[in-house]
Structure 1
Amino acid sequence: MVLTVSKRVARRRAAAAVAAGALPCLAFPAPALWWFAYVALVPWMLLLRSAPTGRRAALEGWLGGAGFVFAVHHWLLPSLHVFLFVLAALLGALWIPFALLVRELLGGAPSGGRAAAALVLVPSGWLLSELARSWQGLGGPWGLLGASQWQVAPALRLASVGGVWLVGLVVVAVNCALVLLVAIPGARAPAVAGVTGCAVLTGVVWLWAPRPEVSGGLRVAVVQPGLVADGPDAPERRFAIGEELTRSLAGQRPDLVVWGESSVGEDLTARPDLARRLADLSARVGAPLLVNVDARPADRPGIRKSAVLVGPGGPTGDRYDKMRLVPFGEYVPARALLGWATSVGKAAGENRVPGGAQVLMDLPGRADVRIAPLVCFESAFPDMSRNLVRDGAALLVDQSATSSFQGGWAPAQHASLSALRAAETGRPMVHATLTGISEVHGPSGERVGPALSTSAREARVYEVPLARGTTLYVRFGDWPVGAALAALAACCAAGGVRSVRLGTPAGTPAGTPVPEPLGELPSKN
Structure 2
Amino acid sequence: MDVMINSRVNIQNFGVKNLLQILFFSSLSGFLTGLSFNSPNLSFLIWFSLIFLLRVLKNNSYPKSFFYSFIAGFIHFLTVVFWIGFVTRLGLFFLLLYLSLYWAIPSLGIKKLLEKNFNFLLVPLLWVVFEYLRAKWGGFGWALFGYSQFKNIALIQIVNLLGVWPVSFLIVLFNVVLFNFLEKRKLSQSLLSLLVFLFLLSSFFFYGYSSLKRPSFKDKSSLVSLVQPNIAQEKKWQTIYYQEIKDKLVFLLRQAPPGSLVIFPEASWPYSAGKDFAELKLLAKTFKRDILMGVVEKSEENYFNTAVLISKQGRFSKYRKLKLVPFGEYIPLRRFLSFISVVNSFGDISAGKEVVLLNYKNLRIATLICFEDLFPDLVRDFVRKGANVLVNITNDAWFKGYPQVIQHLQPAVFRAIEERRYLLRAANTGISCIISPQGEIEKILRVNNKKIFVEGLLNGKIFLSQDETFYSQWPDIFIYIGGILGLVLLVFDKKIKF
Q: TM-score, normalised by structure 1?
A: 0.82
Aligned match of 2:461: 463
Aligned match of 2:286: 280
CA distance, structure 1, for counterparts of residue 474 and residue 345 of structure 2 = 37
Q: Is 1:479 aligned to 2:477, yes or no?
A: yes
CA distance, structure 2, for counterparts of residue 206 and residue 419 of structure 1 = 15
CA distance, structure 2, for counterparts of residue 348 and residue 20 of structure 1 = 39
CA distance, structure 2, for counterparts of residue 181 and residue 304 of structure 1 = 55
The one-letter amino acid paired with 2:413 is: A
Report if aligned partners of 1:257, 1:289 keep a CA contact under 8 Å in 2.
Answer: yes
CA distance, structure 1, for counterparts of residue 211 and residue 356 of structure 2 = 29
Report if aligned partners of 1:26, 1:32 keep a CA contact under 8 Å in 2.
Answer: no
Aligned with 2:222 (options 212, 218, 221): 218
SS state at 1:397 partner: strand
Aligned match of 2:261: 256
Q: Is 1:247 aligned to 2:249, yes or no?
A: no
CA distance, structure 1, for counterparts of residue 82 and residue 338 of structure 2 = 22
Report if aligned partners of 1:29, 1:412 keep a CA contact under 8 Å in 2.
Answer: yes
Report if aligned partners of 1:425, 1:474 keep a CA contact under 8 Å in 2.
Answer: yes
Report if aligned partners of 2:86, 2:398 keep a CA contact under 8 Å in 1.
Answer: no
CA 1:275–1:7 in structure 2 vs 1: closer, same or farther (change >3 Å)? same
CA drift at 1:339: 4.9
SS state at 2:220 partner: strand
CA drift at 1:272: 2.4
CA 1:482–1:259 in structure 2 vs 1: closer, same or farther (change >3 Å)? same
Aligned match of 1:27: 36
CA distance, structure 2, for counterparts of residue 119 and residue 448 of structure 1 = 37
What's the CA shift string for 1:149-202, capped at 9, x where partnerless? 111112321111111122111111122112112222423212322321222331
Q: Is 1:170 aligned to 2:167, yes or no?
A: no
CA drift at 1:460: 1.9
RMSD: 2.7
CA distance, structure 2, for counterparts of residue 339 and residue 149 of structure 1 = 42
Aligned match of 1:314: 314
CA distance, structure 2, for counterparts of residue 412 and residue 177 of structure 1 = 29
The one-letter amino acid paired with 1:232 is: T
CA distance, structure 1, for counterparts of residue 16 and residue 172 of structure 2 = 31
CA distance, structure 1, for counterparts of residue 401 and residue 172 of structure 2 = 30
Aligned with 1:431 (options 401, 412, 425): 425
Report if aligned partners of 1:222, 1:257 keep a CA contact under 8 Å in 2.
Answer: yes
SS state at 2:305 partner: strand
Aligned match of 1:516: none
Aligned with 1:206 (options 205, 208, 215): 208
CA drift at 1:471: 2.2
Report if aligned partners of 2:282, 2:314 keep a CA contact under 8 Å in 1.
Answer: yes
CA 1:412–1:207 in structure 2 vs 1: closer, same or farther (change >3 Å)? closer
SS state at 1:119 partner: helix
Report if aligned partners of 2:265, 2:293 keep a CA contact under 8 Å in 1.
Answer: yes
Aligned with 1:16 (options 25, 29, 32): 25
Aligned with 1:237 (options 236, 244, 254): 244
SS state at 1:153 partner: coil
What's the CA shift string for 1:192-231, capped at 9, x where partnerless? 2232122233134336669553433221100111133423
CA 1:302–1:474 in structure 2 vs 1: closer, same or farther (change >3 Å)? same
Q: Is 1:371 aligned to 2:389, yes or no?
A: no
Aligned match of 1:333: 332
Report if aligned partners of 1:332, 1:348 keep a CA contact under 8 Å in 2.
Answer: no
Q: TM-score, normalised by structure 2?
A: 0.87
Report if aligned partners of 1:424, 1:471 keep a CA contact under 8 Å in 2.
Answer: yes
Report if aligned partners of 1:181, 1:192 keep a CA contact under 8 Å in 2.
Answer: no
CA 1:207–1:394 in structure 2 vs 1: closer, same or farther (change >3 Å)? same
CA distance, structure 1, for counterparts of residue 273 and residue 66 of structure 2 = 51
Deviates more, 1:204-213 or 1:145-154: 204-213
Aligned with 1:290 (options 292, 307, 312): 292
What's the CA shift string for 1:421-465, capped at 9, x where partnerless? 111110000111111111110111111112342122111211223
SS state at 1:423 partner: helix
Aligned match of 1:62: 70
Aligned match of 2:323: 324
CA drift at 1:315: 4.1
Aligned match of 1:407: 401
The one-letter amino acid paired with 1:434 is: N
CA distance, structure 2, for counterparts of residue 47 and residue 435 of structure 1 = 42
The one-letter amino acid paired with 2:172 is: V
Aligned match of 1:354: 351
Report if aligned partners of 1:227, 1:434 keep a CA contact under 8 Å in 2.
Answer: yes
CA 1:209–1:277 in structure 2 vs 1: closer, same or farther (change >3 Å)? closer
Deviates more, 1:289-298 or 1:203-212: 203-212
Aligned match of 1:118: 119
CA 1:150–1:341 in structure 2 vs 1: closer, same or farther (change >3 Å)? farther
CA drift at 1:378: 0.3
Aligned match of 2:3: none
Aligned match of 1:518: none
SS state at 2:348 partner: coil
CA drift at 1:48: 1.7
CA distance, structure 2, for counterparts of residue 90 and residue 209 of structure 1 = 39
For structure 2, list consecutive stretches of 5 or more residues without a partner in the other structure: 1-13
CA distance, structure 2, for counterparts of residue 18 and residue 139 of structure 1 = 25
The one-letter amino acid paired with 1:416 is: Q
CA distance, structure 1, for counterparts of residue 208 and residue 16 of structure 2 = 51
What's the CA shift string for 1:105-126, capped at 9, x where partnerless? 325xxxxxx33x2122111111
The one-letter amino acid paired with 1:451 is: L
Aligned match of 2:54: 45
CA distance, structure 1, for counterparts of residue 338 and residue 78 of structure 2 = 22
SS state at 1:431 partner: strand
CA drift at 1:26: 1.6
How many aligned residue pairs are there?
470
CA 1:458–1:168 in structure 2 vs 1: closer, same or farther (change >3 Å)? same
CA 1:488–1:188 in structure 2 vs 1: closer, same or farther (change >3 Å)? closer
Q: Is 1:129 aligned to 2:148, yes or no?
A: no
CA drift at 1:353: 0.7
SS state at 2:319 partner: strand
CA distance, structure 2, for counterparts of residue 7 and residue 188 of structure 1 = 23
Aligned match of 2:191: 189
CA distance, structure 2, for counterparts of residue 348 and residue 382 of structure 1 = 33
Report if aligned partners of 1:448, 1:464 keep a CA contact under 8 Å in 2.
Answer: no
Aligned match of 1:266: 272
CA 1:361–1:60 in structure 2 vs 1: closer, same or farther (change >3 Å)? same
**Greater length-normalized contact order (CA 8 Å, ≥ 6 residues apart):** 1
CA drift at 1:496: 5.0
Q: Is 1:444 aligned to 2:438, yes or no?
A: yes
The one-letter amino acid paired with 2:368 is: L
SS state at 2:102 partner: helix
